[in-house]
Amino acid sequence: MKNTKSINNLVQKLQALNYSENTISSYRSELIKLSLTLNVDFSRLSIRIIEDYLRSSKISVSQSNQLISSVKLLFKYVLDKKEFSKLKTLRPRKESKLPNIIGKNDLLASISKISNIKHKAIISITYSCGLRVSELINLKIEDIDSDRMLIKVVGGKGNKDRYVPLSENILTLLRTYFKKDRPKKYLFNGQSNSKYSATSCNKIVKKYVSSKYSFHTLRHSCFTHLLESGVDLRVIQKIAGHSSSKTTEIYTHVSNRLLGSIVMPL
């Protein structure tokens, strides 16, 4: 395939810079699609070509940003094109959508009815700690620190590590699960692979909670419910692993309980 060498060179560079596997895979996929669609040698890529491609393509805002990010890195690290900084002018405005939230009582009721201990543990720890699906499936047994009542989340978004609180309820549930399933390396093993899959995680949420929710909804619900219970926004930012407080502030817009508690002037 044309441009294979350029794409592989970028992959090697990003690996050397400790980009996460998921990020590298996403950028590689975008560049392969771009190469196949345009059938143009990447050495001839320009801002105008990318702009025309984005205008003619029916892709979402997030996909557009993913493509622009991948091309920017290609320009910077492989093609040595100085105009990589100008690519930011092509970025579309972010879609202003509030995340879906599951009511706390409804979610707890759904969890209480789960008889499969492994599925129950996966949904419970994700909701309790606000984990991303990639963080959940990469959890190792050694990451559970029962002495300090903390969970070490290794290689989160931006390849950053962080600690999140471990509750007594979750620890008890994990111990029950561990005695039954006896996982080896990863906390949650898959049937054929060494770790559980992201696809399976989404399936169990739809099975036990609702088909209209995704696995990531558990994370959004965790932080919204923490905010409603009075936890400081800066603490939530730390637990969530957000580099900017602006990202965490979205939960102030979805907390109906806080809105309902406000006393209006008249």
Hey, which residues are catalytic here?
132, 157, 216, 219, 242, 251
| Longest distance between any two alpha carbons in the chain, whole Å | 68
* Cα distance between residue 145 and residue 141, in whole Å: 9
For residue 43, CA distances in Å to 38, 71, 128 come to 13, 12, 48
* Cα distance between residue 180 and residue 27, in whole Å: 39
Question: 76: helix, coil or strand?
Answer: helix
Roughly what angle, to the nearest 10 degrees, separates helices 47-56 and 61-74?
A: 160
* Cα distance between residue 127 and residue 136, in whole Å: 11
Report the Cα 59 to chain-centroid distance in Å.
Answer: 20
Nearest to 228 by CA among 262, 250, 264, 256: 256
Give the type of residue at 195.
K
SS3 content of the chain, % helix, strand, coil (to 5): 60, 5, 35
Is residue 149 within 8 Å of 166, Cβ to Cβ? yes
